[in-house]
Amino acid sequence: SKSNESLMQRRNAAVARGVSQIHPLVVQRAENATVWDVEGRQYIDFAGGIAVLNTGHRHPKIMDAVKRQMELFTHTCFQVLAYEPYIELCEKLNQLVPGDFAKKTLLVTTGSEALENAVKIARAATGRAGVIAFTGAYHGRTMMTLSMTGKVAPYSAGMGLMPGGVYRAQFPCPLHGVSDEDAIASIERIFKNDAQPQDIAAIVIEPVQGEGGFYVASPAFMAKLRELCDLHGILLVADEVQTGAGRTGSFFAMEQMGVAADLTTFAKSIAGGFPVAGVCGRAEVMDAIAPGGLGGTYAGSPLACAAALAVLDVFEEENLLARSRTLGALIGGRLREVAVNDKRIGDVRGLGAMVACELFTAEGHPHAELTAQVVAKARAKGLILLSCGQYGNVIRILVPLTATDLEVQAGMDIIAECFAELA
């Protein structure tokens, strides 16, 4: 029978080394919040394929929807022959995405592609080429999104300079000494030092930074961003690839920010494990690009559209937005309990079920080593965890919203044990 070790050896010999792997395991199968490796070991899944499985692995309603679609057709290319699931998904997202204005939607396949297209659309709509993105941002691995992503190593290291015209503002993060005012001042500094506002097409922001460390932007900061954008005719783009599809307790995190973005990108959990992503926003902005300027062979695959429509149904039927808030309180509460007696946990934060804790040394430096130790020890105890953060010192939790309280409690018990044993 197959072992993790032998398959990892084949993997390392056959797969490009740039594709890294957090856990040295090979999966056999998965169900809701549980995965089994090829050796039959069982794990609680707090990673959810990096924020893709808010509805869990293989949700039966989603499996059924995809099977039904598979019996009809799996591909036509939407630009050749249209199909209703693509149309219906766009109609539903036009309703769901925050913003009290007429909207239209484009479907693509990955989050990176969604961000690429948001920039293309913003450029066409404004006639401007500049983009402002934030420190610690993650927007993808394609060339333009690597310019916007605020971390060079490992994402673009060794690849030379990425496309120009992207200016870096500070993401507000009081924990690390950046106030909302500092962050706004950093944008004013870009206007003064680097590019006049009339050359900026878009400000792109994650309402809760994902890979960067689960830092929540404040509604007050978003209001100021909105004001700056309106003042200068700049489009506000909310990257909801990781925050979207109910992770933060509302379907999109911007619902809790008091202002609407002009364009919203989505991906990941929107289709419960099938690859679809897209851009939704102001109809006139979305229509700035002429016919033929948007699309892709697999963009808005009928299988993924069917899955996404089922995800929306499951959210309603299983009341998953309320569940996201309940789970967030449960997870945050458990982490705060551990933090009471463990000063290495310097912060517990989040929005809805997008929860993280940040680890520091006694001297107050980011504790990446302890973070890696907790992740490894948790795995040995049967829990799949993910870290994140600019300094690799944040443990983030992305458990399926469909996980039971018992499963979540069992996972949190393991985290508490890890901290105790690593004292």
Note the residues at the interface with ligand PMP (CB under 6 A): 50, 110-112, 115, 138-140, 206, 210-211, 239, 241-242, 267
Strands 235-239 and 263-266: parallel
How many angstroms from the chain centroid is the CA of residue 248?
11
Tell me the residue number closest to ligand PMP, measured at CB. Answer: 111
The DSSP secondary structure of 86-107, one letter per residue, reads HHHHHHHHHHHSS-SS-EEEEE
Q: How far is the CB of 159 from ligand PMP (least distance, A)?
A: 16
Q: What three-state secondary structure class fits 35?
A: strand
Cβ closest to ligand PMP, residue 45 vs residue 211? 211
Q: How far is the CB of 164 from ligand PMP (least distance, A)?
A: 20
Cβ closest to ligand PMP, residue 138 vs residue 221? 138
Cβ closest to ligand PMP, residue 48 vs residue 140? 140
| CA neighbor of 269 nearest in space, from 252, 250, 245, 302 | 245
Q: How far is the CB of 368 from ligand PMP (least distance, A)?
A: 19
CB-CB contact of 151 with 390 (8 Å): yes
Instruction: Provide φ and ψ at 417, rounded to 5°.
Output: -60, -40
Q: How far is the CB of 1 from ligand PMP (least distance, A)?
A: 32
Cβ closest to ligand PMP, residue 240 vs residue 262? 240
- For the chain, how long is the longest CA-to-CA vector? 64
Which residues have CB under 8 Å from 368's CB, separation 6+? Answer: 391, 392, 393
Cβ closest to ligand PMP, residue 142 vs residue 170? 142
Cβ closest to ligand PMP, residue 48 vs residue 249? 48
CB-CB contact of 46 with 411 (8 Å): yes
Q: How far is the CB of 267 from ligand PMP (least distance, A)?
A: 5
What one-letter code names the amino acid at 340? V
Q: How far is the CB of 344 from ligand PMP (least distance, A)?
A: 26
